[in-house]
Amino acid sequence: MMILRLSEKKWRARAVNTALKKLFPKAKIALHFSNPWELLVAVQLSAQCTDKKVNEITPMLFKKYRKLGDYVTANRAEFEKDIRPSGFYRNKTKNILAAAKIIQEQFRGKLPKTMEEMVTIPGVGRKSANVILGNAYGVVEGIAVDTHVIRLANALGLTTHRNDPIKIERDLMAILPKEEWFSFTYRLINYGRQHCPARKHRAADCPLKKFYKPDYVYHA
């Protein structure tokens, strides 16, 4: 098992981030939205669903439900039908419609701008809150850790925690400059999608293979 000191992790993180910047100089969120509320809806729909599929669902959804109030008064069964292709549609409907009511009643119809308030909204955990705050308001309080980030942060020796997103986020925040937190997530996600997916692939073709941990098990 490779164990690195904090200074070594910081060096590795900077080197990895520099390489990612060259590969993806304009990395950004893939979800489509036109306002903070639409972003929250899209983020909730993306749970256990691809961004591509969400982007196929949201044009019609956002045309049908144009403002927050439309979600507050939405028919649950009809909304479930509208988002069914995203999977887990009953739970997503429950969270999205509940979130609309809470935002209207407790936050005067506008998404809050702090992590503390965001995570009180149904269906919004720390990862989702990081995505929404950063993309909607430019507020960066942490690093969004999804499955790509979990897998690759381990592969690249940037964390000592295999599956705990909160602890992995803390590890990454400790070794990356704050001004890099927001974009790092999207660079790593793009890298995972385009070069080093979880499915079987040739590791020799991965651009960042020189940074992989010696004990990292991947498909050759």
pLDDT (tens digit per residue) in 4-34: 677 888 999 999 999 999 999 999 999 999 9
pLDDT at 166: 96
pLDDT at 220: 45
Q: Set out the domains of the chain in order of their start, with CATH numbers.
A: 6-27+143-211 (1.10.1670.10), 36-137 (1.10.340.30)
Q: How confident is the model at residue 199 (pLDDT cuts 50, 70, 90)?
A: confident
Catalytic residue among 53, 146, 167, 213: 146
Buried/exposed 40-55: b ≥16 CB within 10 Å, e otherwise: bbbbbbbbebebeebb
pTM for this predicted structure? 0.92
Catalytic residue among 82, 92, 127, 171: 127
Q: Does residue 164 carry a catalytic annotation?
A: no
pLDDT at 204: 73
Q: Does residue 146 carry a catalytic annotation?
A: yes
